[in-house]
């Protein structure tokens, strides 16, 4: 299968970093298509433990070309820090490219993300405050600054001065905060431009060429389907298309190019930030999962909300993405549980529903209907084949296959690359 998208199927943090690092071994190109430095992909491999926010998790494989597509919003300071950090630890960042069409996160986006969140009060989304929403707002508002603009200084200065004029009216008028300064930002971003110039190119052409030559391309998603701007738990979502379809617009790729779409699910659910999560466990079971699995945000360090696997949003996620298979991560965490619950339906205002309601407030009223499965209570981190898993763990995976309506392809049983069960090859 030459072109496979790997996307988050829940609320992000499903463990995509490990999976992409693992699958990258078999591909020629890893292309990231959405999100920004709100993402935090943790990778543990023979070179150490890394937390990546922007650079695709394929960077650890010397032969692999890594691409940040036009659908990503880039904070140049974060990107340069990440490149420097990787190089300092001996990871070569030489086959790495950034789309000239990718929009940039500017200092006023970071400022506005904070000001907007504070003004929302109790209704705050709990954003990562990385400027994501304001940057995408400027993109669709047609006053964004793109990576390629850094290479054309006159165009850049003109665009920047227009944007800053508008932003300062909002910053000073609406939020009564200090205005941002054109010259300061211009000089700073020109310096970024000089450093990033060797990486900036038309990545859409590179992806097209790779596909023409029948190369294997992994399309790397960020965040998760329940954070998608259209199909997530709006307004408690991120500002981009996190679903597989986002790879088309986010890289310049026709939909007929997909050979497979794999949804990454954690064996239970987590969420950071506000918004409904029907299976959230506010009791000691939730606390046990959080502590045992060290469920803290890779970007913000916030404790993640933990709960049982939600088969209702899972099936929905499989439907709106069109998953051809699913990847299950952190199955080993459930080894501590005497029994495991899976949500198969919701009770909403006295009715049983099997599809999530469209509104966040209705979803918040949904009571999960659980099915209880036996736990296995033994260490599974050494399993390498499906049959190495205890019968109860296999039954759990099979039940998820039924609920999601697609087969499992990969099961992760530990953080290291080799702690993986390949059920069917993706590439
Ligand atoms: P933003 O993307 O920073 O605007 O945040 C919007 C919502 O998405 C918040 O609830 C964040 O916690 C959540 N979010 C953004 N990125 C991630 C991620 O990589 N993992 C998990 N949640 C995320």
Residue 76 phi/psi, 5° resolution?
Answer: -60, -35
Residue 298 has pLDDT above 80, yes or no: no
Report the pLDDT averaged over residues 380-399: 98
Probe residue for ligand 1, chosen from 17, 273, 301 as the CB with the greatest number of ligand atoms within 8 Å = 273
How distant, in Å, are the alpha carbons of 234, 249, 289, 373 from that of 306? 20, 32, 7, 18
Residue 264 CB less than 6 A away from ligand 1: no
Please name which of 60, 66, 63 lies closest in space to residue 90, comparing C-alpha atoms: 60
Q: Which residues pair with 340 in a beta bridge?
A: 373
- Catalytic residue status for 28: no
86-92's contacts with Cβ under 8 Å and 24+ in sequence apart are 86/50, 86/55, 86/59, 89/47, 89/48, 89/50, 90/47, 91/47, 91/50, 91/59, 91/60, 92/62
- Alpha carbon nearest to ligand 1 atom 12, residue: 273
Per-residue model confidence as pLDDT tens digits over 312-329: 999 999 999 999 999 999
pLDDT in tens, 99-156: 999 999 999 999 999 999 999 999 999 999 999 999 999 999 999 999 999 999 999 9
Query: Cα separation of 302 and 321, whole Å?
Result: 28
Cβ neighbours of residue 72 closer than 8 Å, sequence gap 6 or more: 32, 33, 34, 35, 36, 54, 99, 102, 222, 250
CB distance 409 to 424 below 8 Å: yes
Q: How confident is the model at residue 339 (pLDDT cuts 50, 70, 90)?
A: very high
CA 202 to chain centre: 23
pLDDT score, position 361:
97
pLDDT for residue 105:
98
Interatomic CA distance for residues 333 and 315, integer angstroms: 22
Q: Could you read off the pLDDT of 140-186 as tens digits, one per residue? A: 999 999 999 999 999 999 999 999 999 999 999 999 999 999 999 99
Whether 259 is catalytic: no
**Taking all residues of the chain, what is their mean pLDDT, rounded to a whole number?**
96
Whether ligand 1 lies within 6 angstroms of the CB of 324 is answered as no
Query: How many angstroms separate the CA atoms of 8 and 317, rounded?
Result: 9
């Amino acid at each position: 299968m030459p072109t496979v998208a790997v996307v988050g199927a829940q609320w992000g943090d499903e463990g995509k970093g490990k999976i992409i690092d693992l699958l990258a071994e078999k591909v020629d190109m890893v292309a990231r298509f959405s999100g920004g430095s709100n993402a935090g992909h943790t990778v543990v491999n023979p070179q150490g433990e890394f937390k990546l926010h922007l650079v695709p998790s394929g960077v650890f494989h010397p032969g692999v070309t890594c691409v940040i597509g036009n659908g990503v919003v880039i904070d140049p300071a974060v990107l340069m820090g990440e490149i420097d950090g990787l190089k300092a630890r001996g990871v070569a960042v030489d086959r790495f490219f950034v789309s000239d069409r990718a929009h940039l996160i500017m200092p006023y986006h970071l400022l506005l993300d904070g000001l907007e969140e504070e003004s929302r009060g109790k209704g705050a989304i709990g954003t990562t405050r990385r400027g994501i929403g304001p940057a995408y707002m400027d993109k669709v508002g047609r006053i964004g600054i793109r990576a390629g603009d850094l290479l054309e200084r006159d165009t850049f200065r003109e665009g920047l001065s227009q944007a800053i004029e508008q932003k300062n009216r909002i910053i000073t008028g609406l939020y009564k905060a200090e205005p941002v300064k054109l010259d300061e930002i211009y000089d700073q971003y020109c310096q970024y431009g000089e450093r990033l110039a060797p990486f900036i190119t038309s990545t859409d052409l590179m992806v097209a060429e790779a596909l023409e030559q029948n190369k294997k391309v992994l399309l790397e998603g960020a965040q998760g389907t329940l954070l998608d701007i259209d199909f997530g738990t709006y307004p408690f979502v991120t500002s981009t298309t996190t679903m597989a379809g986002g790879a088309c617009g986010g890289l310049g790729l026709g939909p007929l190019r997909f050979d497979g779409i794999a949804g990454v699910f954690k064996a239970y659910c987590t969420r950071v930030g506000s918004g409904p999560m029907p299976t959230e466990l506010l009791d000691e079971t939730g606390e046990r999962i959080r502590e045992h699995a060290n469920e803290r945000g890779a970007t913000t360090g916030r404790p993640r909300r933990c709960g049982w696997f939600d088969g209702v949003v899972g099936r929905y996620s499989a439907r709106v993405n069109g998953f051809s298979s699913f990847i299950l991560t952190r199955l080993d965490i459930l080894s501590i549980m005497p029994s495991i619950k899976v949500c198969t339906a919701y009770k909403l205002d006295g009715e049983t529903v099997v599809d999530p309601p469209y509104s966040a407030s209705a979803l918040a009223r949904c009571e999960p209907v659980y099915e209880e499965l036996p736990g296995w209570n033994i260490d599974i981190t050494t399993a390498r084949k499906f049959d190495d898993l205890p019968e109860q763990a296999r039954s759990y995976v099979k039940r998820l296959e039924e609920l999601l309506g697609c087969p499992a392809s990969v099961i992760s049983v530990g953080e290291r690359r080799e702690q993986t069960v390949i059920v069917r090859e993706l590439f």
